Amino acid sequence: MRRLLLLLLLLWEAQSRAPSRPNFVLIVADDLGIGDPGCYGNKTLRTPNIDRLAEEGVKLTQHLAASPLCTPSRAAFMTGRYPVRSGQLLNVLEELQLTNKTLVYFTSDQGAHVEEVTAKGERHGGSNGIFKGGKGNNWEGGIRVPGLLRWPGVLPAGLEIAEPTSNMDIFPTVAKLAGSQLPEDRIIDGRDLMPLLQGETQRSDHEFLFHYCNFYLNAVRWHPPNSESQLPGRLRLPGGSALQRSVDG
């Protein structure tokens, strides 16, 4: 009996000394160069919170991104694999017989980067189709992005919807499909897309969509009730300043 008690005591002591699992906060900046933070030598920009991480932790000076492009680099960050190993998602769903049980969503975080122009006037970086502008501004080319959703047996194939929608809508849509409650302590600007996607309604639940660049409100899109119009326009702010049009007109 004494041996058993001694063994239990030793096991309890060993367990109490075992390190607990840590919390994780992973931060990835977009298009941030190694010369931007102060802790890497920048004397102009003030980055006190980033510098604090260096002061209180470890700084890597030969840290390499897996790709010089946004999406492949993020894929490598989230999977621990070179980007060339990713991209067979639909085939894998078929192999696992999960196609009819899986909602697949594809989009982009913003319009293409089109500011790079060669000496011959050729634009590089991507295409925003007929729309003016691109990454970094609120012209239509900067905010109009692909939106594709596939769920065989649940969503109709080949359907096109011209109603205004947003990538903010994905969070409440997925939350409802997963049976989760939306947070009640904050405003959720997105809307559940399923009624629109399944044809239960012909209208988007968005009457207004506001377009910000950082903290600045640049444009607004108005979809009047009982109308098929989507009206880009100018919003007059207190003080007399006006917002730009949100689409080419």
Domain final position from 131, 155, 179? 155
Residue 35 belongs to a domain: no
What's the number of CA atoms in the CB half-sphere (13 Å) around residue 218? 15
Residue 187 resides in a domain: no
Q: Residue 132 domain-assigned? A: yes
Residue 33 lies in a domain: no
Q: For the whole prediction, is pTM greater than 0.75?
A: no
Contact indicator for 158, 164 with CB cutoff of 8 Å = no
| SS3 at position 231 | strand
Last residue of a domain, one of 155, 172, 195: 155
- pLDDT for residue 239: 44
Instruction: Find the domain containing 228 and state its range.
Output: 207-241
Instruction: Give the domain-ending residue among 155, 171, 190.
Output: 155
Nearest partner of 221 among 210, 206, 236, 235, judged by Cα? 210
In the numeric block, which tokens belong to residue 109?
């975080």
State the Cα angle at 212 between 207 and 213, rounded to 5°. Answer: 160
Task: Tell me how far apart the alpha carbons of residues 1 and 3 are, in angstroms, rounded to a whole number.
Answer: 5
Residue 61 lies in a domain: no
Count of domains forming the chain: 2
In a domain, 11, yes or no: no
| Residue found by looking up tokens 């009624």 in the block | 195
Q: Are 204 and 164 in contact (CB under 8 A)?
A: yes
Say what the pLDDT of residue 2 is: 55
Examine residue 48 and state whether it is found in any structural domain, yes or no: no
Show pLDDT as tens, one digit a residue, over the chain (249 residues): 555 455 556 566 655 565 678 888 999 998 889 999 999 999 999 999 999 999 999 999 999 998 888 888 988 998 899 988 887 889 999 999 999 999 999 998 888 887 667 778 776 778 888 988 888 888 888 888 999 999 999 999 999 998 999 999 999 999 999 999 999 999 999 999 999 999 999 999 888 888 887 778 887 888 877 666 555 554 444 444 444 443 333
Q: What CA–CA distance (Å, rounded) separates 9 from 189? A: 54
In a domain, 17, yes or no: no
